[in-house]
Chains A and B, each alone.
Chain A
């Protein structure tokens, strides 16, 4: 674990290079091809259609893809470790269901949640579920109980959403369904700062729990034996992961694939369980995946991620020798 070995260095360099290429493609290619010269300012005004496309569509899309990639991957990784379950992710905790309920309330039942409308609805829903999960977490030591509670909450909320869907008109239903398909194109320039802030706070909470995450894989007693504050670690990881997942779900819709697949992908690449390496690695892999998906901006995000992502990830896992169980 000392220093950074060769494999890890090469891995990080590769991922960063990929991100650079994909970012360039996201910003400058698409329905309208752009170049640097289109982007010049005159007197602080956007002087062309091209510059407007760049600043109001392309940059927010890039930021949305990068931030969701980071937040979904890190949330997925930390929750998989916390629950010692390779299938865990932000979505099994009911966080996405909570966000969906908020969105459904705002789109289908006409509740308004202030300035950001749908987005704050999603955030409120995700936060509500998180607080229930946190309450359960503070009362029970057993992580499996949390997992069950999260799943049950998800079912309960999905039922509520389906009731809302029954009583809604065709147009709002269409908007709701389109939110559910996921997109990086919905983030506005104003929203960037909120999304970025949520991501940074969530990342800090999870990153401060690296010792807990590294020890937690062997169980809570083992972690305690290594002098780790288990209760605090669990609360911080849950809070951080929820925040990351909620922000991403609010701004880009429920995207389950990244949180589940990326931790496995980055383990296959880096062959370590040390979260000091695995966490930044997952973040970068998540960004690569989301940027790649954002190249197909005409199609629903979840469809692209699943159609392209599933075969790729399956290939990597099969070639990488399975899950080492």
Chain B
């Protein structure tokens, strides 16, 4: 999808996130209403302590969780079919189930599923996107290995490649560098910058690496004690957004 530069891809209006405990009790809001916009071409870092609601926020944005109240608009629309949404936005998570019996290339190919037909076939275009994603994340050399044989850091890159192959406009990443060494983490953030600039993607990345957030991201969003604030990365420290990190 070609969009004008700085187009608003994602918009939260009075969004309250949280979990419903069960059907009888009221939903528990984690964060006071959030107003937030993600534009094409920018990388926003999402910071906050464990359990502050970063993952909940990301899951709500991509539709895996229903908001407690308020709404998430993708390109101004709140109603999307599952398939169209999957072509527009995706969330990459690192932990969880490691799929056995699947090799790297096959797994990255899953990213093409939103574009596939009824029987999940692939065409040459799909293959090209997959190869490109493998190259971008520098994982071609183990494309034939099983997912279970990789280290956590290597697997993180495979998960990212899958999202890149999915050709979305909005990329949400949940602690992508949690398992990565320092050079890899830096490479990852420069890659995110590159993806945002070259492909006009909007990227929201949760991380604990404050220094990379300041250095490589355009804006920083902090969720702290149920409040969400967002500032330009260059102003964040001066405006006290990072005070909590000093503990």
Contact = CB atoms under 8 A, between A and B. Distances in A.
Interface of A: 1-2, 84, 207-208, 210-211, 214-215, 217-219, 221-222, 224-229, 267, 271-276, 323-325
Contact of A211 (B62, B96, B120, B148): B120
B162 to A, nearest CB: 9
Contact of B99 (A211, A217, A274): A217
Contacts of A325: 100, 148
B82 interface: yes
B82 A274 contact: no
Q: Is the interface of A mostly helix, strand, loop or mixed?
A: loop
Contacts of B122: 1-2
Interface in B67-98: 81-87, 90-91, 93, 96-97
A273 B82 contact: no
B110 A214 contact: yes
Interface stretch (B13-21, B25-33, B123-131): B123-131
Interface of B: 59, 62-64, 81-87, 90-91, 93, 96-97, 99-103, 105-106, 109-111, 113-114, 116, 118-124, 126-127, 146, 148, 166
Given A210-B119, A227-B83, A229-B82, A215 B110 contact: yes
Contacts of A215: 110, 113
Contact of B101 (A1, A207, A211, A267): A267
B113 A324 contact: no
A275 B113 CA distance: 13
Nearest to B105: A1
A224 B121 CA distance: 18
Given A1-B127, A228-B113, 19 more contacts: A1-B126, A211-B118, A218-B96, A219-B96, A225-B62, A225-B64, A226-B110, A226-B113, A227-B84, A267-B101, A271-B103, A273-B102, A276-B119, A276-B121, A323-B101, A324-B101, A324-B146, A324-B148, A325-B100
A138 to B, nearest CB: 15
Nearest to B83: A227
Given A1-B109, A215-B113, A219-B96, A225 B120 contact: no
Contacts of A226: 86, 110-111, 113-114, 166
Contacts of B106: 1, 272-274
Contact of A2 (B99, B119, B127): B127
A145 to B, nearest CB: 15
A1 B124 CA distance: 10
Nearest to A207: B119
